Amino acid sequence: MNIGQASRETGVSIKMIRYYEQTGLIPPVARNQAGYRHYSENDLHRLRFIRRARDLGFSIKHIAILLSLWQNHDRENAQVRDIANQHISGLQNRITEMEAMITTLQKLVDECAGQDRPECPILTDLEH
Amino acid sequence: MNIGQASRETGVSIKMIRYYEQTGLIPPVARNQAGYRHYSENDLHRLRFIRRARDLGFSIKHIAILLSLWQNHDRENAQVRDIANQHISGLQNRITEMEAMITTLQKLVDECAGQDRPECPILTDLEH
DNA sequence: CTTGACCCTCCCATGATGGGAGACCTTATC
DNA sequence: GATAAGGTCTCCCATCATGGGAGGGTCAAG
């Protein structure tokens, strides 16, 4: 199967498939005589794995680790859980930060809307 | 005041101050004969504005608009509110996405921890 | 044999930030 | 006045994941 169809099957863009190969996240795939990449069912499997992990917000570095654990039968499941828990914590921290931003912003917007003064409380806050 | 002290006063790194000038977010500042940048109280004011807006998560593009509204006395406060509301929506959308990721991940981690089978539900999910 | 769809590599761009090299300036100390 | 330390200048490179596009080769159907 050529790269275009592999892309359609897995939901990973052609650009990203080549990028993953180039950066070593996936091993080089087979080529035909013209140099076209050729994807086996196994290759597609790996791409779907990556796609799913990206959808869950894992970084490429974490995905690299997950891929190696995936194919290492000596792994401890706890290692996988560690990666996942680490990722969950990262997400939660970012959410906490963003919620704090929203709280501040919403208060400023409310103040700004609730009055007809010429100066805008949002800008006044930023100025400070 | 030189750039180093301006950086310390405003909390904006030297690198970023120069970058903001280079990309036009702030106008070029005065220079002494040796070419050293020199910052007035007004310049510091602008930098603090930017710093605060960055802390609230505004993109540079949004900050550029906010800066121009800040100095435009004909502006409508509603314009400023629009930018802020737009930003709040963006943050909320990202939070929603991340919360969905956390929900999925947490479920997988719980399943993985609650059993002693050799296969890991997290990897099994990613595989799928 | 032509046409259109596909594929290849290589280069560039994003957004915000930092690192570092090599050169110049300033200030304080001896 | 010399020297050392530290501040500043510009220019280039890297990040992370992703996309755009140029210029050229390939393949299959008509």
pLDDT, residue B106, reads 94
Spatial contact of A17 and A3, defined as CB atoms under 8 Å apart:
yes
State how far the Cα of B39 lies from the Cα of B58, in Å rounded to an integer: 24
* Mean pLDDT score of chain B: 92
pLDDT, residue B128, reads 77
pLDDT at B32 over 80: yes
DSSP chain A: --HHHHHHHHT--HHHHHHHHHTTSSPPPEE-TT--EE--HHHHHHHHHHHHHHHTT--HHHHHHHHHHHT-TT--HHHHHHHHHHHHHHHHHHHHHHHHHHHHHHHHHHHHHT---SS-HHHHHHH-
What is the residue type of B49?
F
State how far the Cα of A44 lies from the Cα of A48, in Å rounded to an integer: 6
In this structure, what token pair is assigned to residue B71? 């100095």
Chain B residues inside the 8 Å CB shell of A70 = 123, 126-127
State how far the Cα of B122 lies from the Cα of B105, in Å rounded to an integer: 8
Average pLDDT over residues B110-126: 80
Nearest one of A122, A92, A120, A117 to A106, comparing CA atoms: A122
Chain B residues inside the 8 Å CB shell of A81 = 109, 112-113, 120, 122
Q: Which nucleotide lies closest to A37 by the C1' atom and the CA atom? A: C7
pLDDT, residue A75, reads 81
Which residue among A52, A95, A123 places its CB closest to the CB of B99? A95
Average pLDDT over residues B62-72: 93
| B120, B124, B128, best to mutate vs chain A, most A CBs in 10 Å | B120
State how far the Cα of B37 lies from the Cα of B4, in Å rounded to an integer: 10
Tell me how far the alpha carbon of residue B15 is from its chain's centroid.
16
pLDDT, residue A109, reads 92
Spatial contact of B23 and B16, defined as CB atoms under 8 Å apart:
no
pLDDT, residue A112, reads 83
The stretches in chain A having pLDDT less than 70 are: 115-117
pLDDT in tens, A68-100: 999 888 888 888 999 999 999 999 999 999 999
What domains are there in chain A, each with its CATH number? 1-58 (1.10.1660.10)
Hunting for tokens 């959808």 — which residue is that? A55
pLDDT in tens, B89-105: 999 999 999 999 999 99
